Structure formats: C-alpha cells, structure tokens
C-alpha cells in the first residue's frame, strides 16, 4: 500500500481537479486526508491502484510525492492506537501520517507512514 502526497493551492476546485483526474483513470480512493495552511493545501491519499494513480497524476501534470506504508490490523477498542504509537516511539520511529483504510465492528486496518517504514513494519509484526 502506498501513500500519495499532493501540494495544491488553497482555492476552489483544486480537490475536484485531482479527484477527477483519478476517477478518469478508474482510481478509487481508499483513504484521504486534506488540510490547508494559509494559501497552500496538502492532500494525502491512499488509492486502490498505485500504477493508475501515477499515470493519472502525471498525465494531468499534478506533482506528487509517494511513500510506502506499514499496515497493521488493530482491535476496534480504546488504547490500541496508543499501543502502536508507543511501540514505534520506543523503536525511534517517527510517524508522518496514519490512515484508517478498513473498518469493521471488531477490526481496524491502519496504514502508517514513517521516517523508517522498514523498521516500522518489523516493530508492528
């Protein structure tokens, strides 16, 4: 699973421009987060198809960064995220982003982006 990070201007239509490009390539977004700071916006997303996402963004001249994620299944109860965050902190792994990519009554699938994804995966095994 991979994360795409896209910097945009903070103006009407920017999100629609990106999501339209993705939809025309058949990309379904599994998880998304966005925020603005001043006149800039930052869009983080996890798509269902990495190759189609790259193609769509490149074809539409939308610059992006791409990162590998570590994925972990957690029980859907209080304290589970704390346990994951503490394990990563003890190992010296710094978090860049976390996404809920799947949810059921009993389980949460969490994708984590960090400064050392290889180490994060090992810690979360």
**Contact (Cβ atoms closer than 8 angstroms) between residue 11 and residue 29:** no
Partners of 75 in beta bridges = 107
User: Which of 29, 48, 67 corresponds to the end of one domain?
Assistant: 67
Identify the CATH number of the domain in which residue 73 sits: 3.30.2130.10
**What residues have CB less than 8 Å from 5, skipping those under 6 apart?**
42, 43, 44, 64, 65, 66, 67
Residues 63 and 73 grouped into a single domain: no
pLDDT 10s digits, 25-68: 999 999 999 999 999 999 999 999 999 999 999 999 999 999 99
Look at residue 13 in the predicted model and tell me its pLDDT: 95
Per-residue pLDDT, 105? 84
Residues 114 and 85 reside in one and the same domain: yes
What pLDDT was estimated at residue 106?
92
* Alpha carbon distance 4, 66 (integer Å): 5
**Residue 97: which domain range?**
69-124
Same domain, 50 and 76: no
3-state DSSP call for residue 114?
A: strand
């Amino acid at each position: 699973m991979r994360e795409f990070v896209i910097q945009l201007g903070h103006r009407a239509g920017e999100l629609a421009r990106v999501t339209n490009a993705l939809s025309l390539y058949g990309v379904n977004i599994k998880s998304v987060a966005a925020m603005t700071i001043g006149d800039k916006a930052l869009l983080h997303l996890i798509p269902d198809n990495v190759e189609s996402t790259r193609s769509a963004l490149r074809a539409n001249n939308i610059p992006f960064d791409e990162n590998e994620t570590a994925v972990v299944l957690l029980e859907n109860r209080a304290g589970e995220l704390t346990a994951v965050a503490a394990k990563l902190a003890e190992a010296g792994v710094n978090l860049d982003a976390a996404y809920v990519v799947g949810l059921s009554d009993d389980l949460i699938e969490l994708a984590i982006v960090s400064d050392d994804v290889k180490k994060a995966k090992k810690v979360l095994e």
